[in-house]
Structure 1
Amino acid sequence: MATNEAFLKDRVDTLFGTNFQQRDGRIVPSSSDVTLKDGAVKVDAVFLYSDLAGSALLSRACPWTTTAKVIRSFLDCATRLIIKHGGAVRSFDGDRVMGVFMGDRKCSNASICGREIHWAVRKIIQPAAESKFKSIKDNGIEIRNCSGLDVGEVRAVRSGIRDNNDLIWIGKAASFSAKLSDVRETGFHTFVSKRVYNALADDAKFSDGKDLWTPSSIEFAGETEIVYKSNYWKKP
């Protein structure tokens, strides 16, 4: 395969000249649904990124096998909960997973999913890890996560080359939800944009008449965004 300067310049010129063939998506697209050459699928969806916090400390303080088992357990639980709530898993990035939700209750379903992931981390993974792994117990390691959610219009585009490609997601909802999953604020582990919060059904917003979400703000792309954070987990 040619990779010299002239060839790479030609490829960039070709890609910059692409005229995308866009279509509306009724379901969450997978890679095979989007043409590599010029395909694009527009979706109105909720993006949920859930990130395992403190994995660097895990790697430093624990045997690699322990770190691998903890990360695998987190991704396993998160993936199962995303699917349970009608989402589709479309990306893994180290210790982070991305779920995409569509449909009439997409905001509510995704937010409940985020709170259930929080519960699974605190009530299942943490105590099991402390019981099973001496390095976690002896080092006082707290296994935590953060889930970030945003909703909006996003395009799925296939990127890479033949046999080496995947979907990339172009739009604020995808990038802002990823940003929110990086927030580290003691006590709060689920963050949603104002757009998601405003679309929540009562069962995803309140418990016994009490609002489960606290307003806050975050800087993103040079602007201040209103977000809502919750420290209320939910048992699956």
Structure 2
Amino acid sequence: MGRKADLESWCNSVFRDAWETRQGAKVPDEDSKLSLMNEAIELEATVLYADMADSTKLVDTKKASFAAEIYKTFLHCAARIIQHYGGAITAYDGDRIMAVFIGDQKNTNAVNAALEIRWAVLHIITPQMKRTYQTTDYVLRHVTGVDSSSLFVAKTGVRGANDLVWVGRAANHAAKLSSLPSDYIYITKAVYGRLNDSAKLGSNGKNMWEPRTWTFNDQTIYRSNWTRSIG
């Protein structure tokens, strides 16, 4: 079979074959028993995207080694915090990290992770950077987006070079929220409405979140520039 016929046959099978789906009890990973055909896992989940801002300017204006150190410290701190709150890291995409949370506390856990990531940027990464690079004018800025919905998870790619594709509102909207103006955490109404007070109220009892209208689809979202300290 020629290459053209092989690709035509593959696409025809994907479009015509029925899907086999099952409910997920844990966050799928590359070892999950999914084939490259029409098999998928469905689950209710909360997605977090933490994204560095202005990374193109960083790599264009600073030494590669310095940019790599910023990437490494940001992604490492974010990953450790996400794991602390029970999130599963599903992708590193250049200067950002994607994580999925499941369970009864998935929204509160994801938001508390976002608050701690912001604290780590301000009180761990930045001071440590300035100890070594005392004259640098670089300021690390980032955005975190969080949304919750049903997800449809399938395997994509080719044998030996494949990954999971996360289909659902939360995956797309969390990523889009992380492209909004920096130094804020943005969450959807679906997340805000299910938060425990530990992720909604500050130590003084004040609501940490302010409603905004998202021009992407005119829906109400919430943003915060508060943090949660790491002990």
Shorter-normalised TM range? over 0.9
Q: CA offsets per residue over residues 23-81 of structure 1, 9 Å max, x none? A: 00111111221232222011101000000112112112211011111101111010110
1:124 aligned partner: 124
TM-score in terms of structure 1 length: 0.92
Counterparts of 1:102-113 in structure 2, within 5 Å, are 102-113=102-113
Question: Structure 1: any 5+ residue segments left out of the alignment?
Answer: none
2:197 matched to 1:202?
Answer: yes
- Is 1:228 matched with 2:228? no
Which residue pairs with 2:25 in the alignment? 26
Shift of 1:219: 2.9
CA distance in 1 between partners of 2:2 and 2:68 (Å): 35
Alignment partner, residue 9 of structure 1: 8
Task: State the alpha-carbon separation in 2 of the partners of residues 215 and 69 from structure 1.
Answer: 35
Q: How many Å apart are 1:122 and its aligned residue?
A: 1.2
Q: 1:90 to 1:3 in 2, by over 3 A?
A: farther
Q: Distance in 2 between matches of 1:49 and 1:110?
A: 10
Q: Determine if the alignment matches structure 1 residue 72 to structure 2 residue 67.
A: no
- Regions of 4+ moved over 6 Å: none
Given that 1:205 and 1:211 are in contact with CA atoms closer than 8 Å, whether structure 2 keeps it comes out as yes
Structure 2 residue runs without a partner (length 5+):
none
Report the Cα distance in structure 1 between the residues aligned to 2:176 and 2:157, rounded to whole angstroms.
24
Aligned in 2, Cα 1:5/1:103: closer, same or farther, shift over 3 Å?
same
Distance 2:196 2:99 in 1: 20
Residues 66 and 133 of structure 1 are in contact (CA less than 8 Å); yes or no, is this contact kept in structure 2?
no
Query: Are the structure 2 counterparts of residues 3 and 142 from structure 1 closer, same or farther at C-alpha, using a change threshold of 3 Å?
Result: farther
Q: Is the CA contact (8 Å cut-off) linking 1:48 and 1:110 kept in structure 2?
A: yes
**Sequence identity (%):** 34
1:89 aligns with 2:89: yes
